[in-house]
């Protein structure tokens, strides 16, 4: 990056807020995927005003900007593109500015870590439900930019359902404020929705006003074991069909169960075809217990080999251990994984799982399947070794087939991770030419010089 630009950035944020050494740049070259790209410099502002000045300086010098939170994204959205881009990292803007109990809102800076916000509001009897499994390592800004989901989203909705207002620095450095504390607001277009899920391509989110709800006081957890994946899927449909909306309804397939057992020896039966991990919650202990018992009954009626109900908090944690162990267990199986997050209509889960198994068998690389069965959002993870060019090429062919299968079943490319760099080649196939055209025009209207996260999502 040119010295004049770096000097200008130092003037705005101070010397300790600009990183240019190769070691520092290496630390910002990755996200949660296998993609990599070294930035020209990293800037760490402390206020919306500084972000605005940084964006103006970068725009004047025609330097592309990559907004970044904690870099846990799974679509290579915060990975730099070649040609000296500036990573604008929001992690020093990590203050919870206000928790308004009367209006049940939280006003936060974009760099607040999700679990820090959750802990702070729970102390006051309030609840911020969106719970990406990365919640201890991802930022609210990153969650909004990707419209992150998580296990609880079946009952409570995704991040976007909790965004009441945003402060966004636009590509020309102007500061836009959207929304507010009013719950109902149909004054003009819904700009909160426009920036939510925009993956850093339309503006830099610096602050957010978030909706909170009362904290559920009781939770109950169950784990159901199935010898057939169809039976597990039928149980999912039957539970929801009975009018029960569990807080979470997570699925692990046989490969996932075997990976976890091989790595962590939790005592899971490796001949099972599927495990469901379910949770109910609410403020009436009796109702929460009745729901989990009804769920257990439905699973048994649908040929569950066994259903375990947690009898203590420690028991609840241990039932979740298997699900939490999936991601770390995969690293022992293969050096690299590509975790997709297709979403299909719930009724298509058995069919998509059958097709995923077929893709794995045809190409010879393992696909581990787990995810949020209640909302049809599955994470097929392809295990491979990127040092082997033929495995990388095979993996890419498999990704194309996975997306084609999901779209053919009425599904989507991504339920929660976003498009970023990795899914970009498939976007038009999913959206069609008219939607692509409209989305590109919106991008052009807000960022005519294509300086914000170029090469991602639309390019």
- Nearer to ligand FAD (CB atom), residue 44 or residue 70: 70
Q: Select the residue interacting with ligand FAD from 105, 143, 255, 329 (CB under 6 A).
A: 143
Q: How far is the CB of 161 from ligand FAD (least distance, A)?
A: 13
376 binds ligand FAD (CB under 6 A): no
Q: How far is the CB of 442 from ligand FAD (least distance, A)?
A: 15
Q: For residue 398, what are the contacts with CB-CB under 8 A and spacing of at least 6?
A: 359, 360, 363, 365, 367, 382
- Nearer to ligand FAD (CB atom), residue 72 or residue 235: 72
What is the spatial distance between Cα 185 and Cα 308, in angstroms, rounded to a whole number?
Answer: 45
Contact 75, 419 (CB under 8 A): yes
150 binds ligand FAD (CB under 6 A): yes
138 binds ligand FAD (CB under 6 A): yes
Handedness of CA 196, 202, 208, 209 (dihedral sign): negative
What is the spatial distance between Cα 65 and Cα 290, in angstroms, rounded to a whole number?
Answer: 52
Q: How far is the CB of 211 from ligand FAD (least distance, A)?
A: 18
* CA 60 to chain CA mean position, Å: 33
Q: For residue 377, what are the contacts with CB-CB under 8 A and spacing of at least 6?
A: 149, 341, 342, 343, 371, 415, 416
Cα dist. 419→228, 335, 422, 447 in Å? 33, 23, 6, 18
Q: How far is the CB of 147 from ligand FAD (least distance, A)?
A: 8
Contact 195, 166 (CB under 8 A): yes
- Nearer to ligand FAD (CB atom), residue 144 or residue 402: 144
31 binds ligand FAD (CB under 6 A): yes
373 binds ligand FAD (CB under 6 A): no
Q: Select the residue interacting with ligand FAD from 19, 90, 236, 368 (CB under 6 A).
A: 90
Q: Which two tokens mark 410? A: 């009425």
- Nearer to ligand FAD (CB atom), residue 88 or residue 231: 88
DSSP state of 98: E
Q: How far is the CB of 271 from ligand FAD (least distance, A)?
A: 28
Q: How far is the CB of 51 from ligand FAD (least distance, A)?
A: 9
**Which residues of the chain form contacts with ligand FAD (CB under 6 A)?**
31-32, 66-74, 77-78, 90, 110, 132-134, 138-139, 141-143, 145-146, 148-150, 199-200, 204-205, 327, 416-417, 420, 453
């Amino acid at each position: 990056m040119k010295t004049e630009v770096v000097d200008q950035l130092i003037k705005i944020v101070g010397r300790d807020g600009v990183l240019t050494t190769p070691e520092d740049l290496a630390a910002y070259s990755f996200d949660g995927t296998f993609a990599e790209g070294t930035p020209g410099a990293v800037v760490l502002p402390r206020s919306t005003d500084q972000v605005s000045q940084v964006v103006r300086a970068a725009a004047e010098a025609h330097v592309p900007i990559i907004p970044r939170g904690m870099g846990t994204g799974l679509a290579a959205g915060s990975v730099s593109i070649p040609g000296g881009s500036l990573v604008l990292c929001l992690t020093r803007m990590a203050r919870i500015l206000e928790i308004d109990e009367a209006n049940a809102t939280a006003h936060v800076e974009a760099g607040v870590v999700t679990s820090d916000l959750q802990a702070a509001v729970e102390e006051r009897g309030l609840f911020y439900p969106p719970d990406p499994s990365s919640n201890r390592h991802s930022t609210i800004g990153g969650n909004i930019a990707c419209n992150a989901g998580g296990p609880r989203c079946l009952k409570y909705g995704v991040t976007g359902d909790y965004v009441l207002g945003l402060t966004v620095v636009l590509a020309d450095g102007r500061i836009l404020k959207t929304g507010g504390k009013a719950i109902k607001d149909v004054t003009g277009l819904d700009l909160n929705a426009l920036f939510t899920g925009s993956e850093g391509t339309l503006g830099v989110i610096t602050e957010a006003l978030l909706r909170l709800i009362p904290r559920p006081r009781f939770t109950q957890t169950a784990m159901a074991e199935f010898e057939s994946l169809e039976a597990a899927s039928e149980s999912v449909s039957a539970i929801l069909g009975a009018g029960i909306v569990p807080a979470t309804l997570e699925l692990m397939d046989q490969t996932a169960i075997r990976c976890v057992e091989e790595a962590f020896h939790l005592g899971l039966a490796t001949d099972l075809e599927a495990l469901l991990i379910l949770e109910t919650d609410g403020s009436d202990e009796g109702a929460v217990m009745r729901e989990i018992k009804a769920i257990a009954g439905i699973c048994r009626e649908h040929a569950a080999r066994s259903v375990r109900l947690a009898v203590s908090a420690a028991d609840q944690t241990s039932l979740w251990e298997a699900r939490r162990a999936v991601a770390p267990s995969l690293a022992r199986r293969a050096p690299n994984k590509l975790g997709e997050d297709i979403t299909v209509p719930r009724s298509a889960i058995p069919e998509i799982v059958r097709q995923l198994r077929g893709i794995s068998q045809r190409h010879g690389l393992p696909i581990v399947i787990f995810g949020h069965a209640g909302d049809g959002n599955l994470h097929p993870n392809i295990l491979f070794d990127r040092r082997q060019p033929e495995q990388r090429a095979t993996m890419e062919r498999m990704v194309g087939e996975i997306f084609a299968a999901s779209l053919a079943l009425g599904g989507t490319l991504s339920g929660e991770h976003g498009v970023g760099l990795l899914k970009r080649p498939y976007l038009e196939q999913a959206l069609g030419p008219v939607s692509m055209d409209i989305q590109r025009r919106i991008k052009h209207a807000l960022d005519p010089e294509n300086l914000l996260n170029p090469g991602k999502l639309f390019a």
